Amino acid sequence: MAGAMGRSGRRAKPTARKEQAGNPGKRSLNKDEPVFTPIKGVEPPEWLIEDGLTLATVMWQLTTKELCGQGILCVTDLSVLERWCVAYEFWRRAVKKIAVQGNTVTGATGGPIKNPELTAKKEQESEMNTTGSMLGLDPNNRQRLIGLAGKAKTDNPFIRMITS
């Protein structure tokens, strides 16, 4: 049998999303699902500032302002936010180096090789995509989090049909 026991298939939908949609599957809802308290604001970790990660610090401040304003950010999300901010810093550094050096650089034998910064940039983009989707920083996942933040749009008649 493929996959791990109990972890195969589609990811479970949070109870809040099921309730918002009117529980279309009519299955019993998880009453013991943990609910974390959103935080109002948080300063960047000291190590970001101490290590001179200025872009990461700026992104921390901008991102926490938005996520806290929507009531989405919880203490349990802070490590994911740190990863996102650091990935952003390193991605920007790689982009700047590529802009100066170009897509190819001179290798050890004197011939042109692919700039290693392209690989670094791609790895940071992957980390940003992963952690950003966990935080709801892209449009698709932001839609997923709307119901969790209690900010559902009521001007859509189709949403009213499935929630009533």
Least confident of 53-62, 68-77, 117-126, 153-162: 153-162
- 126 CB contacts (<8 Å, ≥6 apart)? none
pLDDT digits (tens, 9 = 90+) for 103-121: 999 999 999 999 999 999 9
Q: Output the pLDDT for position 15.
A: 76
Q: Say if residue 99's pLDDT is above 90.
A: yes
pLDDT mean over 50-56: 93
Domain spans of the chain? 45-163
Q: What percent of the chain lies above the pLDDT cut of 70?
A: 77
pLDDT mean over 51-67: 94
**Amino acid letter for position 145:** L
Q: Say if residue 157's pLDDT is above 60.
A: no
| 143 vs 73, more confident | 73
| 115 vs 5, more confident | 115
Give Cα 157 distance to the centre of its chain.
29
Q: Output the pLDDT for position 153.
A: 45
| 87 vs 151, more confident | 87
- 45 CB contacts (<8 Å, ≥6 apart)? 60, 82
Q: What are the angstrom distances between the C-alpha of 133 and each of 55, 60, 66, 130, 140?
A: 20, 16, 15, 5, 8
Q: Output the pLDDT for position 152.
A: 45
Alpha helices in the chain (DSSP H): 15-20, 46-50, 54-69, 78-101, 116-135, 139-149, 157-163
Compute the mean pLDDT over every residue in the chain, rounded to the nearest whole number: 84
At 151, the pLDDT band (50, 70, 90 cuts) reads very low
Q: Output the pLDDT for position 148.
A: 52
pLDDT mean over 151-164: 52
